[in-house]
Structure 1
């Protein structure tokens, strides 16, 4: 977590703030925050409504849902929904007025931008 704390400090040094938005129920996010000592908030996207607004949601196939369950991951329980939907990972850089200055969405959740790329945008 030291690397994450370093990135968070760099974001804040540039006047920014990191905000995470998740479809997970708040109790699960709180466990994550407390369990890993995260220094930022995780906001709750109830029923994936914000993700839907941005066109980010997709539904897992039955086979993939079964695979998730085999690993003990129950998305409907974790998200408080009746379905197997997830948002694609997305990163937005916004100014203080809420104007989106940069947006990046990649359906491949394994491809994430390097923190240095985001820091350049700030």
Structure 2
């Protein structure tokens, strides 16, 4: 999120914007926005329903749950459900008609698409107009 915030002005100069979707409960989303000075919209995906619809929902295996718990990362409390699930990192560039122009998805939740790639995709989309 912080990396996207860092390129938000450039994305807006292109004539685009960012909308993020996260499973965290509202108070945790607000904390994240404040901590990282995030100026774009973050929508809540309660129960990872949107992630499920997009085929992005992953249930953490037991060994990872134990790791989270060792670091006092209480995913059920943060997300507000007992599913121990997270969305895969994904970034979509969508045109004004709602058509997906580009998509970047990674099953490894520690690997996120680079913001520069998103900017490149947005510029390519602008060139096609």
The CA deviation at 1:4 is 4.9
Aligned to 1:94: 94
Q: Distance in 2 between matches of 1:58 and 1:2?
A: 23
Q: Distance in 2 between matches of 1:4 and 1:95?
A: 18
TM-score norm. by structure 2 comes to 0.86
Q: CA RMSD in A?
A: 1.8
The CA deviation at 1:90 is 0.6
Q: Distance in 2 between matches of 1:49 and 1:37?
A: 27
Aligned to 2:84: 84
Distance change >3 Å, CA 78–CA 117, structure 1 → 2:
same
Matches within 5 A, 1:28-39: 28-39=28-39
The CA deviation at 1:104 is 1.4
- Structure 1 gap ranges (5+): none
SS at match of 2:34: helix
SS at match of 2:119: helix
- Structure 2 gap ranges (5+): 123-129
The CA deviation at 1:5 is 4.4
Distance change >3 Å, CA 2–CA 79, structure 1 → 2:
closer
| Displacement over 3 Å in runs of 4+ | 1-6
Aligned to 1:12: 12
TM-score norm. by structure 1 comes to 0.91
Aligned to 2:26: 26
The CA deviation at 1:2 is 8.8
